[in-house]
A = this chain, B = another copy of it.
Amino acid sequence: MATEITYEQLNVLNARYAQCIDDDRLEQWPDFFLDDCLYKITNAENHRQGMAAGIVYADSKGMLQDRVSALREANVYERQSYRHIVSMPVIGEPVQGRVSVETAFLVVRIMRGGKTDLFATGKYVDQVAQDASGALKFAERIVICDSISIDTLLAIPL
C-alpha cells in the first residue's frame, strides 16, 4: 500500500495501456482502472472552462465495460485501428497513496484501406494508485485533447 510507485512502473503502465487498445484487446481495457474510477475525454478549452461533462464520461469500471460492449456492437474496430505514441510522464507528489501523472500522447488512425492520419494529440492527467493486490491502476484518467474538433466517431478509448 505504502510502496513507492516508480517512474519505470508508470512507463510500463502507460505502455501496456496503449498496447491493449492498439492490439484491439478492448475487453481488457477496463482492467487498467480501479472499480471506482473516473475516465473522461474532453478538450483543452472545455477543461479550462471547468466543464465537467466531456465527450466521454465514465465513473466506474462497469461503465467502461459497457462502453466496450457498445463498441463491439458498433463494429468500429472493423474499419480502423489506432497507434498510440506516449511521451515521458511528469509525476507529482504522492498524496494518500495516489500519484498525479501527466503524459503527452499522440494517436494515429489507420483506416482499413491503408490511409493513415493524425487523429488526436493531448495529455493524460492521471491519478494512479495501487489496488488491493498492489497492481497499479488508474483511479482517474482525464484525456484532454488539444483540438476542439475531434471526430464524432470518437467512442474509442484514447
Taking beta carbons and an 8 Å cutoff, which residues of A are in contact with B? 7-8, 11-12, 14-16, 18-19, 22, 44, 81, 83-91, 102-106, 108, 110, 113-118, 120-123, 146-149
Contact = CB atoms under 8 A, between A and B. Distances in A.
A15 B103 CA distance: 8
Given A85-B87, A114-B147, 8 more contacts: A7-B8, A12-B91, A83-B122, A106-B106, A110-B121, A113-B148, A114-B149, A116-B121
B89 A15 contact: yes
Contacts of A19: 90, 102, 104, 123
21 contacts: A7-B12, A8-B8, A11-B88, A12-B88, A16-B90, A22-B104, A44-B81, A83-B121, A83-B122, A83-B123, A84-B104, A85-B106, A86-B88, A106-B106, A106-B108, A108-B146, A110-B121, A114-B147, A114-B148, A116-B118, A118-B118
A146 B119 CA distance: 14
Contacts of A89: 15
* Chain A contact surface mostly: strand
Contacts of A118: 108, 116-118
B113 A149 contact: yes
B116 A146 contact: yes
